[in-house]
């Protein structure tokens, strides 16, 4: 069974680009357009890794990370933050919320795939 990756971004083009890249690598991909939708998806289906945008309306990536950390089945799930922000304080905020990694936009698909492989290996996520 492939690792299941949950992509959360309010940009349809970013969701589509990431989904295509990860599907081509053999990952099972689900995509949500908001943090609230992602929480619902995480409650319905298994999630091995979450890739979320930082800045989204209503439930942003930091709040999504905090809420996922409170759920028993996603408490230890790797979470990667995607953002254009370079502020060290925002990066620290993400770390404090429970994020496992930080990827700056724009990024190469290979960078994202490497990061996902790395967090899966470190977390011991089984495929």
CATH topology of domain 4-120: Rossmann fold (3.40.50)
Closest by Cα among 109, 99, 2 to 51: 99
pLDDT (tens digit per residue) in 15-66: 999 999 999 999 999 999 999 999 999 999 999 999 999 999 999 999 999 9
pLDDT on residue 66: 97
Q: What is the pLDDT of residue 121?
A: 86
The pLDDT value given to residue 101: 92
Going from N- to C-terminal start, the domains of the chain cover 4-120
Q: H helices of 1-127, where?
A: 12-24, 35-44, 61-70, 88-97, 109-123
pLDDT of residue 126: 52
Q: Taking phi first (over 0 means left), then psi (-120 to 50 degrees means alpha), and beta for anything else, what does residue 7 get?
A: beta
The pLDDT of residue 120 is 86
Mark residue 113 as left, alpha or beta (left: phi above 0; alpha: psi -120 to 50; beta: remaining). alpha
Q: Is the pLDDT of residue 73 over 70?
A: yes
74-126 pLDDT tens trace = 999 999 999 999 999 999 999 999 999 999 999 899 999 999 999 988 876 55
Secondary structure letter of residue 92 according to DSSP: H
What's the rounded Cα separation, in Å, for the pair 97 and 127? 26
Q: Could you tell me the end-to-end alpha-carbon distance of the chain, in angstroms, rounded to an integer?
A: 5
């Amino acid at each position: 069974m492939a690792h299941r990756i949950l992509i959360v971004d309010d940009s349809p083009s970013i969701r589509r680009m990431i989904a295509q890249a990860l599907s081509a690598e053999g990952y099972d991909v689900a995509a949500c357009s908001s943090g609230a939708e992602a929480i619902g998806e995480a409650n319905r289906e298994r999630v091995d890794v979450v890739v979320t945008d930082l800045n989204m309306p209503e439930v942003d990536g930091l709040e999504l990370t905090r809420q996922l950390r409170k759920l028993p089945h996603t408490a230890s799930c790797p979470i990667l933050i995607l953002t254009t922000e370079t502020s060290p304080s925002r990066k620290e905020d993400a770390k404090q919320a429970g994020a496992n990694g930080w990827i700056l936009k724009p990024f190469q698909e290979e960078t994202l795939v490497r990061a996902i492989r790395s967090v899966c290996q470190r977390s011991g996520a089984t495929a």
